[in-house]
Amino acid sequence: MLGDGILKGLAETARNFFGSYVSRDRLTTIQYPEQRDPQIEAARSFPFLVFDGADWQQGLRCVSCQICEKECPPKCIFIEKSKDKKPDAVGKPQFYPVRFDIDISVCMSCQICVEVCPFDAIKMDVDYDLSTDDRFGGLLLDRQRLAKSNEHYNKIHPTEAAAVDAALAEERAKAKAAAEAKASAAAKAATEAKAAAVANPAPAPQPAAGESQ
């Protein structure tokens, strides 16, 4: 029949037009800035640095090992290592970054920095409305703007963060146990040494003999 295809097409259009009044999932538009789709857990936009506790400078997990700087495919990370050390997430004294910049106008959100980081210090954020009118300063994030709390990390990637927290807690417990064992061993050694010293008095100090010559 002539015009068969046109009628078929129009029937399809009519079905969808009236269907959109009946079924909610045919209406896919949301009012964006006010209304937002819930974020999925695997989402990623740009990296951020995780810190524990309240003070971001004290709590930064990054130990400035510069692996991510080397592995980053478009080379958008810049790190300057500190001269002194501060305790890291486990409690071991480590270097920290005095400068940590990520140029997110170069970053391609590939997540390789996250995968290579041995300290769980850098993770992917889910923030997406990052447009700015300052194309140089606004897109070159320094460590203060990159630092986000562990609570934030737990909020955006709950499953992944829980696993990281568990691993870190285990390591902290291990470090604590090791420190305690070391302390007790030292104390034991000290008491033993004291006991030995009491039992047989110390011999004449050798250095004094050396000095006399």
Partner 1 sequence: MSTAAFPAAVLPTQQIGSEPTSGPSTEQLLELSMGPQHPSTHGVFRMNVVLDGERVVRLKPVFGYLHRNHEKIAESETYLGSMPYTDRLDYICPLTNNWAYALAVEKLAGIQVPERAEYLRVIVGELTRLQNHACLVGFLMQDMGCSGTPLMYAFRQREMVLDLFEALTGARMMCNYMRFGGCRVDLPAGWLDQTKKVLQQFPRFLDEFERLLIGNEILMGRTQGIGVLSKELAVSAGISGPMARASGVDYDIRKVDRYGIYDRFAFRVPLGSHGDVYDRLMIRVLEMRESLGILDQAMRDLPAGPIVDPKTKIRGFRPKPGEAYGRIEAPKGELGFYLISDGSPNPYRYRVRPPSLINLTVLEDLCLGHNVADIVIILGSVDIVLGEVDR
List of residues contacting partner 1 (CB under 8 A): 5, 8-9, 12-13, 40-44, 67, 71-73, 108-112, 115-116, 124
Nearer Cβ to partner 1 (42/178)? 42
Give per-residue burial for 51-77: e unless 16+ CB within 10 Å, then b.
Answer: bbeeebeebbbbbbbbbbbeebeeebb
Nearer Cβ to partner 1 (9/93)? 9
The phi, psi pair for 75, rounded to 5°, reads 55, 60
Give SS3 for 191: helix
Identify which of 77, 67, 71, 89 has the alpha carbon closest to the alpha carbon of residue 46: 77
Q: Shortest Cβ distance from residue 198 to partner 1 (Å)?
A: 53
Q: Shortest Cβ distance from residue 27 to partner 1 (Å)?
A: 13
Residue 108 and residue 103: Cα distance in Å, rounded? 10
Q: Shortest Cβ distance from residue 112 to partner 1 (Å)?
A: 6
Residue 163 and residue 154: Cα distance in Å, rounded? 10
Nearer Cβ to partner 1 (25/84)? 25
Nearer Cβ to partner 1 (71/165)? 71
Q: Shortest Cβ distance from residue 211 to partner 1 (Å)?
A: 52
